[in-house]
Structure 1
Amino acid sequence: MAMQGAGVQRPLGAYALFQSDDLDEARERVAAVFCPHRLDTIGRGARIAARHHHLRGERVSLNYIEYGAKTLIAPGLLERFYLMQIPLVGAAAIANGAEHYATGPGQAAVLNPQDPTTMIWEEGTRQVLVQIDRRAMMEHLSAQLGHRAEEPLAFQGPMDLTTGAGATLRQMVMFLVAEADQGRVALGAGLMGRQVETTLIAGLLEAHRHDYRDRLGRVRAAPRPRHLRLAEGFIEAHLDQPLTVEDIAAAAGISARGLQMVFRQYRDTTPLGFWRDARLARAHGDLVAGRGSVTEVALKWGFSHFGRFSQAYAARYGLSPRDTLRAARGTGYQD
């Protein structure tokens, strides 16, 4: 990401909190958003050249921080929040509890709030940071498990941002930053804002290693009743075709009423709701991969009413189909 010179726009520029060469001011202003911490420059006569931009949501905030000098940052326990740090320029050495690793533009740090943290940012390091409320993270995890998560969630090591779910999560964060820079705020109050925050929380759980990963895998692989397995298999095999409850029930060898009951008990939805969500998931996969136009993808997966498709898609994924495709093709924030 090229950001050389004073005239170049920085991420979240409309949400600037401060720019300062005063070390004490930088420490106090950053602490007001995150937590009290030690902040010192490394090297004689080093100029801090600090800058912080901050977009606040309800459970998640987006931040941009840069330090011109090599910097020691020691917050101890974060306590209230998890913190994902995505380097755009530079590198950092991270110590978070027993975890010790380095990050750069291809690796993010995810700091656990229950473990003491010390970091060294190299000179000129610039990062986008996603702050996630600890309670919101644990509540989302508990909902995925189906019971309360008793032990603290602990992420492990650096997160790969170059492939798979890590690359997708980074792309989503940077797209949201780009949208904010265009005046389209996507965090905070309202259904859409909350859905975007939930998607970020879920994305981090999916993208990075943590101590609940195996347990979540077992929940997702839990045994299903035979009729449900048959119904879901039939639906998956006919996603691009019009279906009725009677079609699905006949394939599963159960009455339509019985089918409705088993989906409600085990999936908390209806058979046609499951069919719709599965088609939305396939459409989402095509859009994220940049395969075709929004109209082509919608028609491919049986959505002929484009307005209803857009509404259902946005309610599920927190972004419109058009915005998802823009992000996939790199027409959001360029970094």
Structure 2
Amino acid sequence: MTAEQSVPLAGHMLFRSRDLDEARDRVARVFCPHRLETIGRGSRLDARHHHYPGERLSLNYIDYGAKALIAPGELQDFFLLQIPLSGSAAIVNGTQDYCSHPGRAALLNPHLATRMIWDENCRQVLVWIERQALERFLAEQSGAPLRRPLTFLGGLDMTRPEGARLRRLVMHLVAEVDAGIPSIGTGGLMGRQIEAAVMAGLLEAAAHDQGDAADAGAALPRQVRRAEAFIMANLEQALALEDIARAAGVSMRGLQQGFRDHRDTTPMAFLRDARLERAHRDLQSAAPGCNVTAVALRWGFAHLGRFAQVYRARYGCSPGQTLNAARGAGFEG
């Protein structure tokens, strides 16, 4: 095997270039618009990007061959796991500031601005994970919609058993692609299950702000689970507390007590948050003719000022800003 063939995902090269503008443009086609600069006098770029797509995640290999500043701002619609094979990188993601290296992967949150400096010998395998898919997976495991964006906390220790297992799984998938026998990206059930295993491994290995979510559903009383299932199946309908209690087979007072004790919220607040999440997804997808008013009304928010207020409190931006970004306004790092 030649040195060229030993590079991960060698049979799936998107480009190799010494031109900074070309490298920036080609990487942006897979990820997002970003600022890319080399650092240091005489620093010569030799960038390459290999890419293998799955359904809800993709496998990537990137090497810039030079010390580089990369500033994409907010990734918006994907999480990015960066596993250094060699070298190191300085990572800033929101207020989080740390160094990644072969023993510590970087995990970039899509709703926090990112800025990185990769050392000249930094070679990385990257796993692109669709944001909606990962957050939906976590919500399904917990049996309830997320009340806030999923936020990972700092880097991922690859020397701990959970991190080591995740790394082995990712590198095994890379090796399968290199051998011409990929498990993901084939459109089959097995591939989707393996992608789910990667997401499960990530949630297990990495610290995040919803660490109890995966275990929460199992301990819920039956009436609360019934109420939540009824709410999720009827989000576009006009629902009153009485309707939810009747569907759950419990009194309104008992239902409220159950939500307070086991969800630390009320049934109507749970309904509002679930509708807010659906509104957020609609604005992100930005179908032709989509506007904020139509989305708000569809999901039961008749008071547009109140909708904008609760939306900003949860997502850190206005509904209009989300819609503009989805229409291609983009950002500059």
- C-alpha distance in structure 1 between counterparts of 2:203 and 2:183, whole Å: 20
Relative to structure 2, which stretch is displaced further, 196-205 or 25-34? 196-205
Relative to structure 2, which stretch is displaced further, 213-222 or 165-174? 213-222
Partner of residue 29 from structure 2, selected from 28, 32, 35: 32
Match of 2:189 in 1: 191
Cα RMSD (Å): 1.7
1:78-112 deviation line (CA, Å, top 9, x unaligned): 00100000000100000000111001000000000
Pairing 1:212–2:210 present? yes
- Classify 1:215/1:29 alpha carbon distance in 2 versus 1 (closer, same or farther; 3 Å): same
Match of 2:199 in 1: 201
- C-alpha distance in structure 2 between counterparts of 1:217 and 1:208, whole Å: 16
SS in 2 for 1:69: coil
Give the unaligned 5+ runs of structure 2.
Answer: 223-333
- C-alpha distance in structure 2 between counterparts of 1:166 and 1:56, whole Å: 23
Match of 1:98 in 2: 95
CA drift at 1:150: 2.6
- C-alpha distance in structure 1 between counterparts of 2:122 and 2:25, whole Å: 19
1:120-170 deviation line (CA, Å, top 9, x unaligned): 001121000000000101110110110111310000011111121110000
Partner of residue 164 from structure 1, selected from 158, 161, 174: 161
Which residues of 2 match residues 99-248 of structure 1 at below 5 A?
99-188=96-185, 189-219=187-217
TM-score by length of 2: 0.64
1:12-38 deviation line (CA, Å, top 9, x unaligned): 011110011101000000000000000
1:235-274 deviation line (CA, Å, top 9, x unaligned): xxxxxxxxxxxxxxxxxxxxxxxxxxxxxxxxxxxxxxxx
1:184-213 deviation line (CA, Å, top 9, x unaligned): 112121111111111111110111100000
- C-alpha distance in structure 2 between counterparts of 1:202 and 1:214, whole Å: 14
- 2:142–2:216 CA contact under 8 A, matched in 1: no
Match of 1:85 in 2: 82
Match of 1:229 in 2: none
Match of 2:44 in 1: 47
1:166-191 deviation line (CA, Å, top 9, x unaligned): 10000000011001100011212111
CA drift at 1:45: 2.3
Give the unaligned 5+ runs of structure 1.
Answer: 225-335
Give the partner amino acid of 2:89: A
- 2:143–2:216 CA contact under 8 A, matched in 1: no
SS in 1 for 2:111: coil
- C-alpha distance in structure 2 between counterparts of 1:217 and 1:99, whole Å: 26
SS in 2 for 1:209: coil
Aligned residues: 221
- 2:142–2:215 CA contact under 8 A, matched in 1: no
- C-alpha distance in structure 2 between counterparts of 1:214 and 1:60, whole Å: 24
What fraction of aligned residue pairs are identical, expressed as a percent? 57
CA drift at 1:6: 5.1
TM-score by length of 1: 0.64
- C-alpha distance in structure 2 between counterparts of 1:214 and 1:118, whole Å: 29
Relative to structure 2, which stretch is displaced further, 185-194 or 66-75? 185-194
SS in 1 for 2:212: helix
CA drift at 1:221: 5.7
Match of 1:265 in 2: none
- C-alpha distance in structure 2 between counterparts of 1:7 and 1:106, whole Å: 24
1:22-70 deviation line (CA, Å, top 9, x unaligned): 0100000000000000000001121110010000011100000001110
- 2:93–2:112 CA contact under 8 A, matched in 1: yes
SS in 2 for 1:11: coil
Match of 1:13 in 2: 10
Match of 2:69 in 1: 72
